């Protein structure tokens, strides 16, 4: 391949990548809603109405330096996953299909299981349950 | 030297004692469950290679890295990696190297953004940031990311890392680091020898680098760029050498884009394209006579398939059959006062197997074929134009 061709092709690739990002960002890959919660009695409470808006959401609290990925993985069943890589404790990124650590390349399934090293241990989960009145999902931080 | 040995031995001792007190496979479990603020981990690789042309074999402990990290509070942490290459360092003889591969402080701004300050590895290419032996196929790191992107490329500076709140999976980074030293550029090594690697760096010249990283539909897409000065010398000296001094004087530009994909069924793919230019190459050659190229380019593509997926879909073990083709020209454009060397127009074909009996452990077998253009006998050994290696090795990371 000639240098000129290579430069031309690389430029096209870059343009396609940017175009792709733009297109994909408008076709269902928008970010998950961010829900800010306060810790009360070592518990986070997420109204069920939030899960009606989106089955997947990010929960943020000032008490924890990593977000929690809360999602309804089956009807009426909820999982709360700490977005902290189990390799070197870096923040991980939730995509549409997987959870990624940009720092060292570990990948995790949306259920937190390791799909690619260097991480060896799955992401930490917090136990969840419905509140007594059935209107909220409770994330138990001491679990 | 004695102090160095004591340091290394004590490093291993700390690592060993940590292994005793830390439950098996629970480096992180300890951190999460007991809030242990200190992390000890590492990685390394050993290789035996057989040169089919010379019919000679070589065995080498390529590298061993000790990682130490400490979390001071929920927003401030320390990271460091100390590397020993080629098993030993001996005064007065050619041997290995002990160096800090990273040493930085990390300051969390919020849950999406953090800053790094110190010696760190900017996000450029695939291997530079993710260089653990368990993350790439083949015993040797891709040649492109050695000769063209000088992995592991670390410099002292400040970095900003973050992720988008608007687009899930989109990450970004930007960094300001010390620049390069064009006096050390060389024929065949591009800018590699011009890195300071945190050692007495001349910070008069600077470099900016930035990257966009996007995870979507199982793909990892990244694009990055680097622009930095390479003549951080006093202006009178620069004037006498007819070089442009200043923060971004005698600049080096590099850009790359890469894509990675790994399917649930075991198929994996990655590709990268890199372009680099040194517009003042003629001035550098006039000053230092080191045959600095004006432009360099390169690309590689790799496909692989995890054979274990055919037998047991959810197995932790993996056996990846892979093949990678690399092409690069490290003197794609030469200035009027430098010489073209056809041996820097290289192609590599690397194929083999990567077996992981458990996460963090790797056994590798590969065959690497190299072919180049016609060497310039003034610059390169003419016998170096074509050869093949058979490599076998092991590696770990935890």
The domain that holds A57 is classified in CATH as 2.102.10.10
d(CA A49, CA A136): 8
Cis peptide before B16 (omega within 30 of 0): no
Cis peptide before B152 (omega within 30 of 0): yes
Quickly count: other Cβ atoms within 10 Å of residue B218's Cβ: 15
- Per-residue pLDDT of B20-58, as tens digits, reads 323 333 333 333 334 678 989 999 999 999 999 889 999
Residue of A nearest to B37 (CA): A89
Closest-CA distance of chain B to residue A75, Å: 23
Query: Distances in Å between the alpha carbon of B199 and those of A97, B91, B181, B331, B356?
Result: 42, 18, 12, 28, 36
Chain A contact for B115 (CB, 8 A cutoff): no
Residue B205 in any domain: the answer is: yes
| Residue B242 domain boundaries | 2-8+35-397
Q: What are phi and psi of B59, to 5 degrees?
A: -115, 135
Q: State whether A11 and A74 are in the same domain.
A: no
Is the sign of the CA dihedral A100, B395, B327, B349 positive or negative?
Answer: negative
Nearest residue to B153 (alpha-carbon basis) of B186, B195, B208 = B195
B219 Cβ contact list (under 8 Å, min separation 6) = B259, B260, B261
d(CA A79, CA B238): 61
DSSP A32: P
Nearest residue to B123 (alpha-carbon basis) of B191, B174, B189, B78 = B174
Q: State whether A41 and A108 are in the same domain.
A: yes
Residue B98: its H or E element: strand B97-108
Residue B96 in any domain: the answer is: yes
B345 forms bridges with which residues in the sheet? B329
Closest-CA distance of chain B to residue A136, Å: 24
Residue B24 in any domain: the answer is: no
According to the model, what pLDDT value does residue A8 have?
Answer: 60
Longest distance between any two alpha carbons in chain A, whole Å:
69
d(CA A135, CA B192): 60
Quickly count: other Cβ atoms within 10 Å of residue B215's Cβ: 26
Residue B22 in any domain: the answer is: no
A68 Cβ contact list (under 8 Å, min separation 6) = A44, A58, A59, A60, A61, A80, A81, A82, A83, A126, A139
> In which residue ranges of chain B is pLDDT below 50?
1-34
Q: State whether A26 and A51 are in the same domain.
A: no
Q: State whether A114 and A102 are in the same domain.
A: yes
According to the model, what pLDDT value does residue B149 have?
Answer: 97
Q: State whether A79 and A38 are in the same domain.
A: yes
| Residue A49 domain boundaries | 32-140
Residue B30 in any domain: the answer is: no
Q: What are phi and psi of B136, to 5 degrees?
A: -135, 155
B127 forms bridges with which residues in the sheet? none
Nearest residue to B41 (alpha-carbon basis) of B18, B24, B73 = B18
Chain A contact for B220 (CB, 8 A cutoff): yes
Residue B147 in any domain: the answer is: yes
Using CB atoms, pick whichever of B221, B262, B398 lies closest to residue A17.
Answer: B221
Q: What are phi and psi of B249, to 5 degrees?
A: -75, 150
Q: State whether A36 and A20 are in the same domain.
A: no
Residue B21 in any domain: the answer is: no
Where are the alpha helices (H) located in chain A, listed in sequence order? 3-25, 48-53
Under a CB-based contact definition with an 8 Å cutoff, are residues B30 and B52 in contact?
Answer: no
DSSP B167: B
Using CB atoms, pick whichever of B25, B262, B297 lies closest to residue A3.
Answer: B297
d(CA B30, CA B23): 8
Domain count, chain B: 1
B224 CB-side CA count, 13 A: 26
Q: State whether A42 and A99 are in the same domain.
A: yes
Residue A26: its H or E element: none
According to the model, what pLDDT value does residue A1 have?
Answer: 43
Which CATH number goes with the domain that contains B55? 2.40.160.10
Q: Which residues of B146-168 are buried (b: 16+ CB within 10 A; e: fewer)?
A: bbbbbbbbbbbbebebbbbeebb
Q: What is the CA radius of gyration of chain A?
A: 19
Under a CB-based contact definition with an 8 Å cutoff, are residues A90 and A102 in contact?
Answer: yes
- Per-residue pLDDT of B80-108, as tens digits, reads 999 999 999 887 777 788 999 999 999 99
Residue of B nearest to A30 (CA): B167
One pLDDT digit (tens) per residue for chain A, 143 residues: 455 655 565 565 555 555 555 544 444 455 788 999 999 989 999 999 999 889 999 999 988 889 999 999 998 899 999 999 998 888 999 988 899 998 888 999 999 999 888 898 999 999 999 999 989 999 999 75
Q: Which residues of A touch B164 (CB under 8 A)?
A: 31
- For Cα atoms B69, B75, B78, give the angle at the middle one, nearest 5 degrees: 20
Residues 221-250 on B with a CB inside 8 Å of A are: 221, 223
Q: State whether A26 and A38 are in the same domain.
A: no
d(CA B357, CA B63): 21
Q: State whether A52 and A110 are in the same domain.
A: yes
Q: What pTM was estimated for this model as a whole?
A: 0.84
Using CB atoms, pick whichever of A10, A67, A120 lies closest to residue B398.
Answer: A120
Q: State whether A80 and A38 are in the same domain.
A: yes
Nearest residue to B348 (alpha-carbon basis) of B188, B142, B54 = B142
B321 forms bridges with which residues in the sheet? B305, B353
Chain B contact for A117 (CB, 8 A cutoff): yes
A26 CB-side CA count, 13 A: 5
Residue B63 in any domain: the answer is: yes
ipTM of predicted complex:
0.74
d(CA B297, CA B257): 12
Q: Coil, strand or helix: which one is A20?
A: helix
């Amino acid at each position: 391949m000639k240098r000129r061709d290579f430069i031309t092709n690389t430029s096209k690739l870059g343009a396609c990548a940017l175009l792709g990002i733009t297109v994909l960002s408008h076709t269902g890959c928008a970010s998950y809603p961010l829900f800010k919660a306060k810790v009360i009695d070592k518990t986070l409470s997420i109204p069920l109405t939030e899960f009606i808006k989106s089955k997947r959401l990010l929960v943020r609290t000032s008490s924890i330096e990593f977000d929690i990925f809360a999602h309804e993985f089956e009807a009426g069943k909820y999982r709360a996953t700490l977005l902290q890589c189990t390799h070197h404790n870096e923040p991980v990124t939730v995509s549409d299909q997987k959870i990624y650590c940009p720092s060292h390349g570990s990948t995790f399934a949306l259920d937190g299981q390791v799909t690619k090293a260097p991480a060896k241990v799955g992401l930490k989960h917090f136990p969840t349950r419905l509140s007594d009145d059935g209107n909220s999902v409770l994330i138990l931080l001491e679990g | 030297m004695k102090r160095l040995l004591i340091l290394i031995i004590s490093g291993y001792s700390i690592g060993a004692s940590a292994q005793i007190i830390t439950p098996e496979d629970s480096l992180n479990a300890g951190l999460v469950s007991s809030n242990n603020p200190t992390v000890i981990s590492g990685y390394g690789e050993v290789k035996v290679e057989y040169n089919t042309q010379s019919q000679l074999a070589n065995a080498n402990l390529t590298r061993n890295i000790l990682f130490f990290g400490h979390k001071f509070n929920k927003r401030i942490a320390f990271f460091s990696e100390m590397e020993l290459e080629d098993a030993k360092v001996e005064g007065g003889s050619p041997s290995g190297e002990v160096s800090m591969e990273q040493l930085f402080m990390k300051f969390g701004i919020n849950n999406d953004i953090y800053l790094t300050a110190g010696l760190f590895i900017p996000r450029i290419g695939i291997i530079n940031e993710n260089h653990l032996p368990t993350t790439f196929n083949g015993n040797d790191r891709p040649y492109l990311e050695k000769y063209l992107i000088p992995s592991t490329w670390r410099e002292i500076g400040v970095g900003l890392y973050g992720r988008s709140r608007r687009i899930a999976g989109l990450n970004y980074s930007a960094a300001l680091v010390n620049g390069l030293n064009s006096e050390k550029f060389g024929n065949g090594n591009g800018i590699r020898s011009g890195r300071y690697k945190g050692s007495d760096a001349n910070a008069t010249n600077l470099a900016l680098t930035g990257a966009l990283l996007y995870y979507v539909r199982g793909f990892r897409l990244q694009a990055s760029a680097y622009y930095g000065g390479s003549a951080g010398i006093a202006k009178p000296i620069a004037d006498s050498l007819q070089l442009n001094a200043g923060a971004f004087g005698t600049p080096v530009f590099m850009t790359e884009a890469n894509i990675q994909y790994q399917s649930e069924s075991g198929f994996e793919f990655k590709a990268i394209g890199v372009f680099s230019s040194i517009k003042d190459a003629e001035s550098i050659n006039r000053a230092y006579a080191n045959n600095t190229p004006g432009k360099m380019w390169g690309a590689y593509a790799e496909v692989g398939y995890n054979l274990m997926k055919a037998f047991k879909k959810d197995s932790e073990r993996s056996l990846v059959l892979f093949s990678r083709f690399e092409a690069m020209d490290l003197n794609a454009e030469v200035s009027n006062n430098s010489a073209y060397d056809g041996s820097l127009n290289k192609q590599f074909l690397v194929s083999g197997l990567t077996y992981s009996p458990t996460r963090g452990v790797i056994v590798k077998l590969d065959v690497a074929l190299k072919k180049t253009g016609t060497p310039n006998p003034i610059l390169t050994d003419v016998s170096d134009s074509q050869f093949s290696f058979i490599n076998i090795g092991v590696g770990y990371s935890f």
